[in-house]
Amino acid sequence: KNQVEQSPQSLIILEGKNCTLQCNYTVSPFSNLRWYKQDTGRGPVSLTIMTFSENTKSNGRYTATLDADTKQSSLHITASQLSDSASYICVVSARSNSGYALNFGKGTSLLVTP
Amino acid sequence: DGGITQSPKYLFRKEGQNVTLSCEQNLNHDAMYWYRQDPGQGLRLIYYSQIVNDFQKGDIAEGYSVSREKKESFPLTVTSAQKNPTAFYLCASSIAGTGLRSEQYFGPGTRLTVT
């Protein structure tokens, strides 16, 4: 069972609208949580990275939140643009015997339409 | 794509042939990684290397091999033993490991199609 669950699986919104993507995880012990944006056919690009003590982190129109108690994170996109159309991947890092392990969500596919 | 190059972008091979995917980085990162991405699935770790001349198996290493003779290079060979090699392959690097604040930078990917 995947330890990082993202919802919704896909989303279609109109240009200019806001949206929120969800990430729930069961990974433990938690180290940090990252959100990546992946354009079709390209490699993922980091948007934010948050540690246990950080509740929110912004990167332009992208704002990520983290509730380490409930093990939930969200990525809020404000005033969406056509270029926001991409897959958004939540990645949770956990400490392991060999160092750290990254646990990848399956991603949310976002389509922004004119 | 953060100083990581992968070549070629598209690769076609016949079943039964070994194929090597290139990954080069000029970020002076110690750690490098290979992931496989299939439609509707999260990235899965194939191999990783924390330092030159050392590498470790990831979650799905069977049918793959790697080498790390130089800090900048981490080629991946998809062997004929890999049962379902058609996929999108991503290479990444980081300063050291995947711990706190150790950001992974991804290459543009290679799409391998085996027929």
**Using one digit for the tens of pLDDT, what is the confidence trace for B22-76?**
999 999 999 999 999 998 888 999 999 989 999 999 999 999 999 999 999 999 9
Arithmetic mean of pLDDT over chain A: 93
| H or E, element range at A91 | strand A86-96
A13: number of Cβ within 10 Å: 16
How high is the pLDDT of residue B110?
A: 96
Tokens at residue A12, please?
């279609």
Interface check B46 vs A, CB under 8 A? no
Tell me how many helices (H) and strands (E) chain B has.
0, 11
Cα–Cα distance for residue pair A16/A79, rounded to 1 Å:
4
Task: Measure the CA dihedral A43/B50/A99/A59, to 10°.
Answer: -30
**CA B15 remoteness from chain centre:** 20
Q: Of B70, B84, B61, B56, which Cα lies nearest the Cα of B22?
A: B70
- CB-based burial, B25-54: b 16+ in 10 Å, e otherwise: beeebbbbbbbbbeeeebbebbbbbbeeee
Residue B41: predicted pLDDT: 86
How far is it, in rounded angstroms, from Cα B110 to Cα B7? 7
Confidence of residue B114 (pLDDT cuts 50, 70, 90): very high
| Token pair recorded at residue A25 | 């995880």
Asked if B43 lies within 8 A of A41 by C-beta distance, the reply is no
Residue B101 has pLDDT above 80, yes or no: no
Task: Identify which of B1, B40, B50 has the shortest CB distance to residue A43.
Answer: B1
A10-64 residue pLDDT tens: 999 999 999 999 999 998 888 889 999 999 999 999 999 998 889 999 999 999 9
Reported confidence tier of residue B97, pLDDT bands at 50, 70, 90: low
Q: Is pLDDT of B99 > 60?
A: no
Q: Does B95 touch chain A (CB under 8 A)?
A: no
Q: Does A45 touch chain B (CB under 8 A)?
A: yes
Beta bridge partners of A13: A112
pLDDT band for position B109 (cuts 50, 70, 90): very high
How many CB pairs below 8 A link A and B?
A: 62
- Computed over its alpha carbons, how large is the radius of gyration of chain B? 13
pLDDT for the residue A30: 86
- The token duo for A7 is 């919802």
pLDDT > 70: percent of chain B: 93
B106 at interface of A, judged by CB pairs closer than 8 A: yes
Can you name the residues that pair with A46 across neighbouring β-strands?
A36
**CB-based burial label for B90 (10 Å; 0-12, 13-18, 19+):** buried
State whether residue A31 sits within 8 Å of chain B by CB. yes
**In this complex, do A43 and B56 lie within 8 Å of one another by their Cβ atoms?**
no
Q: How confident is the model at residue A75 (pLDDT cuts 50, 70, 90)?
A: very high
Pair of tokens at residue B79: 């062997």
Q: In this complex, is the C-beta atom of B42 within 8 Å of any C-beta atom belonging to chain A?
A: yes
Q: Which of B42, B45, B99 sits opposite A99 (nearest CB)?
A: B99
Residue B98: exposed, middle, or buried by beta-carbon count in 10 A (0-12, 13-18, 19+)?
Answer: buried
Name the β-bridge partners of B15.
Answer: none
CB contact under 8 A, B42 and A107: yes
